[in-house]
């Protein structure tokens, strides 16, 4: 969905979060870093109307499994690099802008940068590390297709696409 105001707010929040998240995690009492993360979180919340896409379409049914109990934000962190690769051809100009905001080189691999950040934060980087088994994937892929967030993904995703994304994120 095209919403230039929401996009500007989201990009500002992303830039703030990217610049300070490692410091905020390492120095939990650093008020300046925590403030920047709070602003980043607020900006993310203000921009939901742009849509949440495939990341949330998958994390919603995964989070509903019950066992294992899965944290929504952790799921998003694990899934995001794979979905960024999936969406890359549909997001050329937007990905170029993301690289600028994150102060990455023009040819940087955004998905790898996110995956590396997740590792530097000592968070799980795979679904298997979170306790997910592939036997749930057919159920999750069907749930992702039915999820309202799927409609706002920049590239249409089929049940087979969601299954492939889950398998990519497994290990």
Q: How confident is the model at residue 2 (pLDDT cuts 50, 70, 90)?
A: confident
Q: Rounded to an integer, what distance in angstroms lies between the CA atom of residue 13 and that of residue 36?
A: 8
Q: Rounded to an integer, what distance in angstroms lies between the CA atom of residue 51 and that of residue 87?
A: 14
Specify the pTM: 0.93
* Tokens read off for 104: 């990455």
Per-residue pLDDT, averaged over 74-86, amounts to 97
pLDDT at 122 (0 to 100) = 96
User: Rounded to 5 degrees, what angle do the CA atoms 29, 33, 35 make?
Assistant: 95
pLDDT at 50 (0 to 100) = 76
pLDDT at 25 (0 to 100) = 97
How many C-beta atoms surround the C-beta of residue 4 within 10 A?
Answer: 8
Give φ, ψ of 12 to 5 degrees: -65, -45
Q: Rounded to an integer, what distance in angstroms lies between the CA atom of residue 9 and that of residue 26?
A: 26
User: Rounded to 5 degrees, what angle do the CA atoms 145, 10, 107 make?
Assistant: 85
pLDDT in tens, 5-53: 999 999 999 999 999 999 999 999 999 999 999 999 999 999 987 788 9
Closest CA to 62 of 170, 151, 171: 170
Cβ(13)–Cβ(43) under 8 Å? yes
Q: Rounded to an integer, what distance in angstroms lies between the CA atom of residue 31 and that of residue 73?
A: 22
Closest CA to 21 of 44, 54, 46, 47: 44
Cα–Cα distances (Å) from 60 to 41, 148, 161, in that order, read 19, 10, 16
């Amino acid at each position: 969905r095209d919403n230039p105001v929401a996009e500007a707010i989201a990009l500002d929040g992303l830039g703030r979060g990217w610049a300070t998240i490692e410091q905020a995690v390492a120095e939990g009492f650093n008020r300046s870093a925590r403030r920047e993360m709070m602003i980043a979180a607020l900006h993310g919340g203000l921009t939901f109307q742009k849509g949440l896409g495939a990341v949330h379409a998958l994390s919603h049914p995964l989070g509903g499994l019950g066992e294992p109990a899965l944290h929504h934000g952790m799921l998003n962190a694990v899934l995001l690099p794979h979905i960024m690769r999936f969406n890359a051809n549909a997001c050329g100009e937007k990905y170029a802008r993301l690289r600028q905001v994150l102060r990455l080189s023009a040819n940087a691999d955004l998905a790898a940068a996110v995956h590396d950040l997740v590792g530097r934060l000592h968070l799980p980087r795979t679904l298997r590390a979170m306790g997910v088994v592939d036997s749930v994937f057919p159920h999750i892929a069907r749930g992702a297709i039915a999820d309202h967030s799927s409609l706002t993904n920049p590239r249409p995703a089929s049940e087979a696409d969601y299954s492939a994304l889950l398998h990519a994120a497994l290990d």
